[in-house]
Amino acid sequence: MKFGTITETDRRNYREQGYHILREVIPPNLLRDLRRAADKAHDIAVRLHGPQTQRLAPLKAYEGELDLKPFREFDHIEGLVEAIQALLTPEHTLKPTVDACLLFNPRARPWSTEWHRDWRDHVLEDEFQKEIGDARWEEIATDFRLWNQVNCPLYEDTATWYLPGSFKRVHNTPEEMRVYASTTQQELWDEDQRRTDEELEQFCLSYCQAMPGAVQLVLNPGDFCIYRNVGWHIGNYVPYRKRATLATHCFTPAFAKFSADYAHMLKAVEAGIERHKRMAAI
Ligand SMILES: O=C(O)CCC(=O)C(=O)O
């Protein structure tokens, strides 16, 4: 198998730590074509959403303006689906890349997201307890058919930080909640420019570093990092580090079903990231 054989240790580590990196999966010619298309995608994103924009999604929405051929070729990289299935389960496939997203560097100023755990932090607590509850969440969060996000950078990418093992925990630790609550997305965006660019860069970096046990993912061009996005993670961005990273998913029918069954619970995010802060745990 390409990209090295997936070993039992890799499988065990993924199930414990929640992330694994397949190294350099993109062949050089495809990397060149993807970079060219990603430059165009970044220009579209900036035109639509301004210089600080983080993403363009889904890529297929820009057919005509954007050359989708390299993204379609990405779906067929030799040995990639086999490696995913060896790490996860035989029912996993790669989500079609034209349905995926490209993540970019900001063009003006540094910023970072908040530390967050996908889905769990994007639904309202009352609804969560009514429809799912802690016991079922433990099963859902540790169901390996679900939550296998991918970051595949076209340039070296050190923007993402991850807290290994955290995806398994129903309740966050008091230390995690203290870091999470130590700032706000508004401060990390700094739209009213209270900080210089360098102060803001250091502020965001210190917030990333403050999470106990977190690791900064160091990805080289074409690396394919699979991570359980219900664990704590964060994206930290600076304009001087070019970023064009495919953000996609290792997919299963079970994940499609979960997403459809519970789509209504993500209303809070759609209404403007009305994040529920579980302050009781602090
Ligand atoms: O930029 C990244 O790698 C992480 C992005 C992320 O987690 C988010 O946008 O919610």
Stated pTM of the model: 0.94
Which residues, at least 6 apart from 245, have a Cβ–Cβ distance to it below 8 Å?
102, 103, 151, 152, 153, 154, 155, 157, 159, 219
User: What is residue 278's predicted lDDT score, i.e. its pLDDT?
Assistant: 39
Homologous superfamily (CATH) for 8-277: q2cbj1_9rhob like domain (2.60.120.620)
- For every residue of 63-120, DSSP letters joined together read BTTB--HHHHHHTT-TTHHHHHHHHS-TT-EEPPGGGSEEEE--SSS-EE---B-TTG
The residue extents of the domains of the chain are: 8-277
Which pair of structure tokens corresponds to residue 66? 């954007």
User: What is residue 266's predicted lDDT score, i.e. its pLDDT?
Assistant: 83
Distance 116 CA to ligand 1 centre (A): 9
Instruction: Give the closest residue (by CA) to ligand 1 atom 4.
Output: 235
User: What is residue 258's predicted lDDT score, i.e. its pLDDT?
Assistant: 95
User: What is residue 279's predicted lDDT score, i.e. its pLDDT?
Assistant: 36
Distance 176 CA to ligand 1 centre (A): 18
Residues with CB under 6 A from ligand 1: 103, 113, 151, 159-160, 233, 235
Rounded (10°) CA dihedral 67, 68, 72, 78: 30
User: What is residue 4's predicted lDDT score, i.e. its pLDDT?
Assistant: 72
Print pLDDT tens along the chain (282 aa).
Answer: 567 789 999 999 999 999 999 999 999 999 999 999 999 999 999 999 999 999 999 999 999 999 999 999 999 999 999 999 999 999 999 999 999 999 999 999 999 999 999 998 889 888 899 999 999 999 999 999 999 999 999 999 999 999 999 999 999 999 999 999 999 999 999 999 999 999 999 999 999 999 999 999 999 999 999 999 999 999 999 999 999 999 999 999 999 999 999 989 986 555 444 444 433 333
Instruction: Give the closest residue (by CA) to ligand 1 atom 5.
Output: 235
Instruction: Give the closest residue (by CA) to ligand 1 atom 1.
Output: 235
d(CA 126, CA 36): 46
From the CA of 55, give the closest atom in ligand 1. 9
Could you tell which of 102, 208, 211, 233 is best to mutate to test the pocket of ligand 1, judged by most ligand atoms within 8 Å of the CB? 233
Which pair of structure tokens corresponds to residue 8? 């039992």
